[in-house]
Structure 1
Amino acid sequence: MIIIAGHTLVDAADRDANVAAFRGLVTRAREADGCLHFSMTADSVDPGRTNMLEIWRDADALDAWRKRARGPRATKPHHVDVKRYDAADGGPLF
């Protein structure tokens, strides 16, 4: 399992438009083979922060998606902190 998680920072005035610009990408990703979860959301505390989380079945699914993802035109972030994690196991939280 591959997890892509992190956040970006833009001017607070641009954040909601940025999130909306990614709606099509999120929709397409969720329909892609091997996508277990994909979200890009406005942070509930920081008005300039967008949180992102992707979970993919495996590296092949992620690579296939990246070849056709075609991201939208959106405001360039001032800061990006997004990382890839390779998860070997998972289970119920409680």
Structure 2
Amino acid sequence: MIIIAGHELVDADERDAFVAAFRGLVARARATDGCLHVAITADSVDPERVNVVEVWRDADALNAWRRRARGPKSARPTRVDIKRYDATAGAPLS
């Protein structure tokens, strides 16, 4: 399982439009074989922060998606802090 998680910062007055620009990309990703979860959302506390979370079945599914993802034209983030994590298992919270 591959997890992509982190955040981007954009100008507060552009954040909502930035998130909205990714709506189609998120919908397409969620419909892609091997996608377990994708979300690009406005942070509930920081008006400049956009949270990014992706969960993929495996590296092959992620790489296939990346080859055809084609992100939208949007505002450029002022900071990006997104990392890839390789997970070996997942379980329900107890």
Same fold per superposition (TM over 0.5): yes
For 1:20 and 1:92, the matched residues in 2 are separated by 30
Q: Which residues of structure 1 form unaligned runs of 5+?
A: none
- Counterpart mapping for 1:14-33 below 5 A: 14-33=14-33
2:45 is aligned with what amino acid?
V
Partner SS for 2:28: helix
Measure how far apart 1:77 and its partner are: 0.3
For 1:93 and 1:62, the matched residues in 2 are separated by 25
**TM-score, with length taken from structure 1:** 0.99
For 2:31 and 2:89, the matched residues in 1 are separated by 24
* 1:89 counterpart residue number: 89
Percentage identity across paired residues of the two chains? 70
**TM-score, with length taken from structure 2:** 0.99
- Counterpart mapping for 1:50-89 below 5 A: 50-89=50-89
RMSD: 0.4
